[in-house]
Chains A and B, each alone.
Chain A
Amino acid sequence: MSPLSSPAIIVPETLADALASLAELGADGTPLAGGTWIMRAPLRDEPMAHAYVALGRIAELRRIKISAKRVEIGASATHAMLAAALERCDDLAALRNAAAQSANPAIRHAATVGGNLCARRFPAPDLATALLGLDASVEVADAAGSERLTMEAFLAARGALGPGRIVTKVIVERTGHRSAHSRLPLRKAGDYPVAIVSVAVRLDDADRIVEARIAVGSVEGVPRRWTALEEALAGQPIAAVDVAAIARPRADRFTGRDGVEAPGWYRVHVLPVLVGRAFAALTSAAT
Chain B
Amino acid sequence: MTIRLTLNGEEREFAAPPMTPLIDVLRDDCHLTGAKPVCREGFCGACMVLVDGIPTVSCLTPIALVEGGKVETVEGLTSADTPPPVQAALEAHDAVQCGMCFPGMVVSLTHLTQPGECDASRAAIKAGLTGHVCRCTGYERIVDAALAVMEGRQ
Give chain A's interface residues, CB within 8 Å of chain B.
Answer: 1-2, 4-9, 11, 32, 35-36, 39-40, 43, 48, 52, 54, 56, 103-107, 109-110, 189-191
Contact = CB atoms under 8 A, between A and B. Distances in A.
B41 A109 contact: no
B62 A189 contact: no
Interface in B71-111: 108
B18 interface: yes
Contact of B54 (A11, A52, A54, A109): A109
B153 to A, nearest CB: 25
B128 to A, nearest CB: 6
Contacts of B48: 106
Nearest to A32: B62
B60 interface: yes
B131 A8 contact: no
| Interface SS of chain B | loop
Given A43-B41, A104-B130, A104-B131, 5 more contacts: A2-B24, A9-B18, A35-B62, A39-B19, A191-B43
**Size class of the B contact interface (CB-based, 8 Å):** 20 to 34
16 contacts: A2-B21, A5-B20, A6-B19, A9-B18, A9-B19, A11-B64, A11-B67, A35-B62, A54-B64, A106-B42, A106-B48, A106-B54, A106-B57, A109-B56, A189-B127, A191-B43
Closest 10 CB pairs of A and B: A104-B131, A5-B17, A9-B18, A39-B60, A104-B130, A190-B130, A9-B64, A189-B130, A106-B55, A106-B57
B67 to A, nearest CB: 7
Given A5-B17, A52-B19, A106 B131 contact: yes
Contacts of A191: 43
Nearest to B67: A11
A227 B73 CA distance: 50
B59 interface: yes
Contact of B19 (A7, A106, A110, A190): A7
